[in-house]
């Protein structure tokens, strides 16, 4: 049987980050990130690569660790000093910065591990701006 790709579009999470861009994005700021996920596999005896319901549940489970978090590269964790009358949920990622590119790479790896299949992820930082990563 041939490999088939299936996907989900329009899943979201809200998160804050900062980037070393030399501009206003160095300031802590947030986005509602939109995520599109595509997986590839050979359909089973039931004719499906994966039931869309199961795919959506697993993707949402992974995204829950990103939702309402401050995304920080692991090299910056020891430098953080935040205080105030608020909670703080950190999402520590690999890579040199909390860019959308580094976030897409990490998210693709996390989804591949959760799904057990090759994954392509597109992370939208806003309208017209995205980073795409694959993890085999």
* Residues labelled catalytic: 25, 68, 125
Q: Both tokens of residue 113?
A: 């591990």
> Is 75 in a helix, a strand, or coil?
helix
110-115: list long-range contacts, CB under 8 Å, 24+ apart.
Answer: 110/62, 110/65, 111/37, 111/58, 111/59, 111/62, 111/135, 112/136, 114/58, 114/59, 114/61, 114/62, 115/39, 115/50, 115/55, 115/58
What number of residues does the chain have?
Answer: 136
């Amino acid at each position: 049987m041939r490999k088939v790709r299936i996907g989900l579009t329009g899943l979201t999470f809200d998160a804050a980050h900062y980037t070393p861009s030399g501009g206003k994005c160095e300031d802590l700021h947030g986005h509602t990130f939109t995520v599109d996920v595509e997986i590839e596999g050979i359909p089973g005896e039931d004719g499906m690569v994966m039931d869309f319901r199961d795919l959506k549940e697993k993707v949402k489970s992974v995204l829950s660790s990103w939702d309402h978090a401050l995304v920080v590269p692991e090299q910056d964790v020891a430098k953080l000093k935040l205080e105030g009358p608020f909670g703080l949920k950190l999402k520590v990622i690999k890579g040199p910065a909390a860019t959308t590119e580094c976030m897409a790479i990490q998210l693709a790896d996390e989804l591949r591990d959760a799904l057990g299949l090759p994954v392509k992820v597109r992370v939208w930082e806003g309208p017209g701006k995205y980073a795409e990563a694959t993890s085999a």
